[in-house]
Amino acid sequence: MKFDELDQAMRVYETAHDHCVLPGIYIVARADGRSFTRLARDVHKFEAPFDERFRDLMVQTTEHLFGCGFNIIYGYTESDEISILFHPDDSTFSRKLRKLESVVAGEASAKFSLGLQALGTFDCRICQLPAAKTVVDYFRWRNEDANRNAMNSHCYWLLRKEGMTDTAATARLEGLSVADKNEFLFQKGINFNNLPSWQKRGVGLYWKEVPKEGFNPMKNEKVITTRKQIYIDYELPMKDDYGKFIQGLLEKYPRETG
């Protein structure tokens, strides 16, 4: 069998199940750290429940994804996960799911590992969202998840640092309401509302226009131009205000019609 014939015969086995995101559908890729609880707590001894070094690694990894050939309009990271929102008209890799998932996971794993100077890997899933409202709801969901995780983590690690085992600390918190957990933290000297916003709400990355001073040699004068750069937002709004923020981003990048 000639090579061209063999190539054609074999290609079908790797492309038979190719699926593409349909035009007009919003794409969000979510990368999750694989076994990051063990990596952060047992192997590299990051401070619990939150460590700025780990946060910065996740932010750097998120920022890296903006420069991997995709047209990304928003990145969001909380805990050990990253969500990136593609421009609605992005057609990288013809919107093939297997390519998007593998490249995002690979790029995130490589960048994080370089920063950590040790192996850290991500998996990736693609969310196909049919409307702008669904995109807003998705990021509201992850934002609220960050808040819930922050409260649970602070409660859990307070108990662990007081000498409780993992099982005992988990059992102690089981069934407690949000109000109960707030009161528990307050009694231990922690006002949850006063904790850093990035711990409770995650970190957002998006493009902003910034002024840049230049020089016009023809007129022999300084000129001010603007350029886009990634802005890292450690003070994201909450609840409905966060939804409005995401909606505002989407309005800057409308889907093409026709």
* φ and ψ at residue 180, rounded to 5 degrees: -60, -45
CB 125 within 8 A of CB 30: yes
pLDDT average, residue stretch 60-75? 97
The CA–CA distances, whole Å, from 90 to 26, 30, 93, 94, 141 equal 9, 16, 9, 9, 24
In the chain, the DSSP E strands lie at 26-33, 72-78, 81-86, 122-129, 203-216, 221-233
What is the tens place of the pLDDT at every residue in 155-175?
Answer: 999 999 999 999 999 999 999
Report the number of distinct structural domains present in the chain. 1
**Residue 190 burial (10 A CB sphere; 0-12, 13-18, 19+):** middle
What is the tens place of the pLDDT at every residue in 4-29?
Answer: 888 888 887 777 778 999 999 999 99
**Total length of the chain:** 258
Percentage of residues in the chain with pLDDT exceeding 70?
99
DSSP state of 20: B
pLDDT at site 18: 86
What is the tens place of the pLDDT at every residue in 131-149?
Answer: 999 999 999 999 999 999 9
- Position 240 in a domain: no
Cβ-proximal residues to 34 (8 Å cutoff; 6+ apart), any chain? 121, 122, 123
- Position 230 in a domain: no
What is the tens place of the pLDDT at every residue in 39-59?
Answer: 998 899 999 999 999 999 999
- Position 76 in a domain: yes
- Position 191 in a domain: yes
Q: Which residue has the higher pLDDT, 68 or 10?
A: 68
- Position 254 in a domain: no
CB 206 within 8 A of CB 66: no
Other Cβ atoms less than 10 A from the Cβ of 123: the count is: 14
- Position 97 in a domain: yes
Nearest to 225 by CA among 215, 213, 217: 213
Tokens of 17: 């199940």
Nearest to 50 by CA among 77, 70, 25: 77
User: Domain limits at 40?
Assistant: 11-201
CB 153 within 8 A of CB 50: yes
pTM of the model: 0.90
Q: Which long-range contacts (CB under 8 A, 24 or more apart) does 45-51 make?
A: 48/153, 48/157, 48/160, 49/150, 49/153, 49/154, 49/156, 49/157, 49/199, 50/150, 50/153, 50/196, 50/199
Indicate which CATH number applies to the domain containing 34: 3.30.70.3000
DSSP state of 18: -
Task: Report the half-sphere exposure of 177 (CA within 13 A, side-chain side).
Answer: 3
Question: Distance (Å, rounded) from C-alpha 102 to C-alpha 114?
Answer: 18
Helix (H/G/I), strand (E/B), else coil: 21? coil
- Position 216 in a domain: no
Per-residue confidence band for 240, with pLDDT thresholds at 50, 70 and 90 = very high
- Position 235 in a domain: no
Question: Distance (Å, rounded) from C-alpha 111 to C-alpha 246?
Answer: 26
